[in-house]
Amino acid sequence: MKLSRTVFSKRSAIVLAVALGAASAASAAGKHAGGHHESPIGTPGVAAKVTRTIEVDMASGMRFKPSDIRVKQGETIRFVLKNTDSVKHEFSLGTPQELLEHYEVMKKFPDMEHDEPNKISLAPGKQGEVIWQFTKAGAVDFACLHVGHFDAGMKGQVKVAAK
C-alpha cells in the first residue's frame, strides 16, 4: 500500500499543477469556465492597439523598476522587460490569489517555463515584451515568482484609473 500511496501523491501533485496552470491561463484569457465575465486583470493585448510602451527593469536586489505603474482603463500597454540582473527573473501579471497559486507551483517546479500572454521569463541580459490591455479600473499586481524572489519583495502594481 505504501507504494501505491506514493504514486498517488505524485500524480495528484502533477494534476494540481496542471489544473492551476490551466486555471491561470483561462483567467488570463478572460474565459472562466462556467462564467462569461472577463478576468479582473484584463485581457491579452493586440500589438496594433498598443497605446503606450513602459520599460520595466528587472534589477538586482530583487526589484522591478518602476514597481508602481499608472495606466488608464482601456489602455493597451507594451511592457518592455529588461533583465539587467545576473539571475533569471520573470514578470507575471495576476490577481493576488493567482500570483500566490502560481508561486506555490513554482516552489514545486522551480524550472518551469511559461508560455502565457500575461507572463514572461527572462535570462540575465535578455529583453522581452508583454502586451496587455487593462479593461477594469482598480489595481493589477505583478511579481517575479521565482523561489525566494517574491518573498524578497520582487513585486509591483499597476494602478488602473477609471475612464
Instruction: Please report, as ranges, the residues that interact with Cu ion according to CB under 5 A.
Output: 89, 144, 146, 149, 154
* Least gap, CB of 119 to Cu ion (angstroms): 12
For residue 82, list its beta bridge partners. 57, 127
**Nearer residue to Cu ion within complex by CB, 132 or 142:** 142
Radius of gyration in angstroms for the set of CA atoms belonging to the chain, rounded to a whole number: 17
> Which CB atom, from 40 or from 153, has the smaller least distance to Cu ion?
153
Residue whose CB is less far from Cu ion, 77 or 106: 106
Q: Please name which of 83, 143, 153, 145 lies closest in space to residue 108, comparing C-alpha atoms.
A: 145
Q: Closest distance between Cu ion and the C-beta of residue 62, in Å?
A: 6
Q: Which residue is nearest to Cu ion (CB)?
A: 144
99-119 burial code (b ≥16 CB/10 A, e <16): bebbbebbeeeeeeebebbbb
* Residue 117 beta carbon to Cu ion: minimum distance, rounded to whole angstroms: 19
Separation in Å, CA 70 to CA 4, 46, 75, 108, 111 = 52, 19, 10, 33, 31
Looking at beta carbons only, is 32 or 125 nearer to Cu ion? 125
**Closest distance of CB 54 from Cu ion, Å:** 18
